[in-house]
Structure 1
Amino acid sequence: MTLDQTQLRMASAHPAHSTVADTMDAAGPQVWEDMTVEVALSVMAAARTGHLVVCDEDGSHTGLVTRAGLMAVRDGSAYTDRIRLRDIADVIGPFASPPATRAEAERAMRCRRLGAAPVVEGHGSALGVVALSR
């Protein structure tokens, strides 16, 4: 597990025209896709975060899981303590590109009913997370 310390904030006075890179938050804890749902929830609680960036065995970003998503899986009738993050169909979500506009990223997240999306550079490394504005 690694913690990405990238922290970028608003660089533009007009959030609708700002890029994802201007408005993203730190990626937060990065975990492996073979982690169980229970362990992932424990990591979230310890890190006091609502999301985790999920990576494959090569360290490439494969998705993002949220506390709400993991709780829904855990509360489901098909849940067992052997379910891994890679077993959850919606782990792999849309990725935001650093030069994309904030408006484009928010439109994609709303379309897919996501509260957040990982910001990923060309090699698959997570740079941060962009969340829907409220």
Structure 2
Amino acid sequence: MKLDQTHFRPATAHAAHGTTADTMDATGPQVWEDMTVEVALSVMAAARTGHLAVCDEDGLYTGLVTRARLTAVRDGSGYSDRIRLRDIADVVGPSLHR
């Protein structure tokens, strides 16, 4: 994993791309959509958090992913170590720019 794949940012970052509640929930570790489920779980464990803010290639917030969701995907019968956060359809929030 590259060191530049995880960033901490203030709650006000990218506020125009989601609701205030979305932005407040997005505080904490920020990861990119191309990160694998396994790496995301590792980042989450290292940060001692239950969720990660997911961003697109432009750094714009696209949604949250929880430890429970990642664990469910990893434990599912169709799991592969190639599954990325963007492959999990419900990562992208319904009120956001996409």
For the aligned pair, the TM-score class normalised by the smaller chain equals: 0.7 to 0.9
* Structure 1 partner of 2:49: 49
* Structure 2 partner of 1:10: none
Question: Which is richer in strand?
Answer: 1
Distance 1:20 1:88 in 2: 22
* Structure 1 partner of 2:30: 30
Q: How far is 1:25 from its partner?
A: 5.6
2:36 is the counterpart of 1:3: no
Any gaps of 5 or more consecutive residues in structure 1?
Answer: 8-18, 96-119, 125-134
Q: How far is 1:20 from its partner?
A: 4.3
Q: How far is 1:26 from its partner?
A: 6.3
User: 1:89-104 alignment to 2 at 5 Å?
Assistant: 89-95=89-95
Q: Look up the equivalent residue of 1:90 and give its one-letter code.
A: D
Match of 1:90, SS state, is helix
TM-score, normalised via structure 1 length: 0.56
Over 3 Å counting, the alpha-carbon distance change for 1:25 and 1:91 in structure 2 is closer
Match of 2:63, SS state, is strand
Aligned length: 84
Q: How far is 1:94 from its partner?
A: 3.6
Any gaps of 5 or more consecutive residues in structure 2?
Answer: 1-5, 13-19
Q: Look up the equivalent residue of 1:91 and give its one-letter code.
A: V
* Structure 2 partner of 1:127: none
User: 1:52-71 alignment to 2 at 5 Å?
Assistant: 52-71=52-71
Question: Which is richer in helix?
Answer: 2
- 8 Å contact 2:33–2:86 — kept in the other structure? yes
* Structure 2 partner of 1:111: none
Distance 1:91 1:40 in 2: 13
Q: How far is 1:63 from its partner?
A: 1.2
Q: How far is 1:6 from its partner?
A: 3.8
Q: Which runs of 4+ in 1 moved over 2 A?
A: none
